[in-house]
Amino acid sequence: MSWVEVASNRFQRPLGENERLIKFIGDRAHTAGREQWSVTSTATFTPCDNRSATEWAATTLRDAWKLLRFRHPSIASTPAGESDSLEYVIPSEKDLEHWIQRSYDVVEGRDSEDVIAEIKPSHFMTLHFLPHTWEIVLHTSHWRTDGYGAFHLLNAFFDAVKAIVDNDGLPEIFWGEEVARLVPSVESALNLPETTTPEITASAIKYASTHTYVKDSVGIPYKGDSTTKPGGTRSVRMQLSTKTTQAIKNATTERPFDMYSAVHAALAKVNFQYASSSASNSARNEQEYASAIRMSLRPHLISPFTDNPSVAAGLYTGGYVSKVTAGDDFSTIAEKYQREYDKGVTPEFIESRRQFAIMALGGLQKGLPPPNPPPSYVDMSFVTGVDDIVKSVFDTKHGPLKVLRVGLGVETLTPQPYLFFWEHRGQLDLSFVYNEAFQNSSDARNMLNSMVDVLENELLGSK
Rounded Cα–Cα distance for residues 190 and 427 (Å) = 33
Please state the separation of Cα 147 from the chain's center in Å.
3
Domains, the chain, ordered by start: 4-186 (3.30.559.10)
Select from 268, 231, 223 the least CA-distant residue to 377: 268
Contact 454, 270 (CB under 8 A): yes
Mean pLDDT score, 211-224: 95
Predicted pLDDT at 82: 78
Percent of the chain with pLDDT over 70: 98
Q: Determine the residue type at 87.
A: E
First to last CA, the chain: 55
Per-position b or e across 229-251, b if 16+ CB within 10 A of its CB:
ebbbbbbbbbebeeebbebbbeb
* Backbone region of residue 426 per phi and psi (left: phi > 0; alpha: psi in -120 to 50; beta: other values): left
Measured over the CA atoms of residue 377, residue 383, residue 384 and residue 386, the dihedral's sign is negative
Predicted pLDDT at 281: 63
Beta strands in 224-306 (DSSP E): 233-239, 288-296
Rounded Cα–Cα distance for residues 104 and 67 (Å) = 13
Rounded Cα–Cα distance for residues 70 and 179 (Å) = 9
Predicted pLDDT at 447: 98
How many degrees, rounded to 5, is the angle at CA 342 between CA 338 and CA 348? 130
Mean pLDDT score, 221-247: 96
Three-class DSSP category at 267: helix
Predicted pLDDT at 373: 86
CA atoms within 13 A on the CB side of 333: 28
Measured over the CA atoms of residue 147, residue 252, residue 213 and residue 415, the dihedral's sign is negative
Q: Supply the Cα-derived Rg of the chain in whole angstroms.
A: 22
Is this prediction's pTM over 0.75?
Answer: yes
Predicted pLDDT at 353: 98
Mean pLDDT score, 214-224: 95
Q: What are phi and psi of 85, to 5 degrees?
A: -130, 155
Mean pLDDT score, 133-155: 99
Beta strands in 196-337 (DSSP E): 233-239, 288-296, 317-325
Predicted pLDDT at 282: 62
Number of H helices, E strands in the chain: 16, 16
